[in-house]
């Protein structure tokens, strides 16, 4: 059994990483948490192989595979808890449609469970290589987002649409939940358009409602990951605490800078980090094929 022993400095770095993730979320919104996994691996230092494992190629390989999964499971718990906290804030503002959120989350739980299991049997390096591809896709979506900062916020349900289309919401929820479970992500960037596609709620309520699903998928994924020992609860809590503090800072700066420029700049950072992850885990594509 692989044992992860962290130094006091690494616990401190986990808080700093949480601040950076929260700051990016507050700064640019959806997609900001995608850096949680690489920060845990390469900034906090989980990817660094300890001496007791580095001396043996077999043990070193086992350690790398283990910590790659741990990074996903640990951040999934942090993202899930953070989403539940933020969903309450949105609920108090009247921006959460509970029925739609729960209806979307139920099939998503099944998807997240299935995705988490497949993640467990996927080699860690393969998982991170695919994760890097996902990061690039998210970055490109962020670059293409042309919504104007000053656009009028629509707060009414969209006419001519069913309030909840079961034929749409069940498969959409399952697919998004699967992606969330497989990659250990919140999936808000997929959940919001999924809610708009399968219900009649407006954009501002879709954002608030999506947090129910983000939280549920994150916690579900973390529970499955924890069965295999892939969750470090203390690190998740430190990430969460740092994220709350960083979120306030990011939000305050975001109100003073052009949002479109911020999103494009952050997207470029995501692409650079994704390329680094690909280089570090390029062997993963061959492990997956074999």
Residue 63 has pLDDT above 50, yes or no: yes
Half-sphere exposure of 100 (CA within 13 A, CB side): 27
Question: Which residues make Cβ contacts (< 8 Å) with residue 30, sequence separation at least 6?
Answer: 188, 189, 192, 207
46-55 CB burial, b ≥16 within 10 A, e <16: bbeeeeebee
168-186 CB burial, b ≥16 within 10 A, e <16: ebbebbbbbbbbbbbbbbb
Residue 66 has pLDDT above 90, yes or no: yes
The pLDDT tens digits for 110-124 are: 999 999 999 999 999
Give 31's pLDDT tier (boundaries 50, 70, 90). Answer: low
CA distance 90 to 97: 10
Dump the DSSP string for 227-257.
HTT---HHHHHHHHHHHHHHHHHHHHHHTTS
Q: Which residue has the higher pLDDT, 227 or 87?
A: 227
Give 234's pLDDT tier (boundaries 50, 70, 90). Answer: very high
Q: Which residue has the higher pLDDT, 259 or 71?
A: 71
Give 257's pLDDT tier (boundaries 50, 70, 90). Answer: confident
Of 91-100, 196-205, 212-221, give the lowest mean pLDDT range. 196-205
Do the Cβ atoms of 55 and 290 come closer than 8 Å?
Answer: no
Q: What angle do CA 152, 21, 113 make, to 5 degrees?
A: 90
SS3 (DSSP) at 157: coil
Give 149's pLDDT tier (boundaries 50, 70, 90). Answer: very low
Residue 153 pLDDT: 47
Do the Cβ atoms of 184 and 77 come closer than 8 Å?
Answer: no
Mean pLDDT of the region 266-287: 90
Distances (CA, A) of 263 to 30, 32, 55, 269: 10, 9, 43, 10
Do the Cβ atoms of 38 and 278 come closer than 8 Å?
Answer: no
Give 90's pLDDT tier (boundaries 50, 70, 90). Answer: confident
Percentage of the chain modeled with pLDDT above 70:
90
Of 103-107, 123-127, 140-144, give the lowest mean pLDDT range. 140-144
CA distance 49 to 276: 18
In the numeric block, the tokens 């983000």 are attached to 214
At residue 164, φ and ψ (nearest 5 deg) are -135, 120
The pLDDT tens digits for 38-62 are: 999 999 999 999 999 999 999 999 9
CA distance 166 to 164: 6
Distances (CA, A) of 259 to 61, 140, 204: 42, 16, 17
Residue 18 pLDDT: 92
Residue 260 pLDDT: 76
């Amino acid at each position: 059994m692989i044992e992860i022993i962290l130094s006091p400095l690494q616990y401190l770095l986990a808080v700093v990483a949480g601040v950076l993730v929260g700051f990016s979320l507050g700064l640019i919104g959806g997609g900001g948490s995608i850096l949680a996994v690489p920060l845990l691996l390469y900034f906090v230092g989980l990817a660094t192989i300890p001496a007791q494992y580095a001396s043996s190629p077999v043990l070193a390989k086992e350690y790398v595979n283990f910590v790659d999964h741990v990074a996903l499971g640990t951040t999934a718990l942090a993202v899930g808890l953070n989403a539940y906290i933020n969903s309450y804030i949105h609920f108090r503002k009247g921006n959460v449609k509970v029925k739609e959120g729960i209806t979307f989350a139920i099939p998503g739980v099944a998807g997240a469970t299935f995705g988490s299991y497949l993640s467990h049997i996927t080699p860690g390096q393969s998982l991170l290589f695919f994760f890097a591809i996902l990061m690039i896709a998210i970055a490109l979506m962020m670059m293409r987002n042309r919504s104007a900062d000053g656009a009028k916020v629509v707060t009414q349900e969209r006419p001519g649409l069913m309030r909840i289309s079961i034929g749409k919401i069940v498969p959409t929820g399952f697919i998004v939940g699967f992606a969330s479970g497989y990659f250990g992500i919140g999936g808000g960037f997929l959940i919001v358009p999924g809610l708009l596609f399968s219900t009649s709620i407006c954009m501002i309520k879709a954002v608030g409602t999506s947090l129910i699903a983000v939280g549920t998928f994150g916690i579900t994924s973390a529970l499955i990951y924890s069965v295999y020992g892939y969750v470090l609860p203390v690190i998740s809590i430190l990430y969460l605490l740092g994220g709350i503090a960083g979120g306030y800072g990011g939000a305050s700066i975001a109100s003073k800078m052009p949002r479109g420029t911020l999103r494009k700049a952050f997207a470029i950072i995501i692409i650079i980090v994704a390329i680094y992850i690909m280089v570090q885990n390029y062997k993963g594509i061959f492990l997956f094929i074999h």
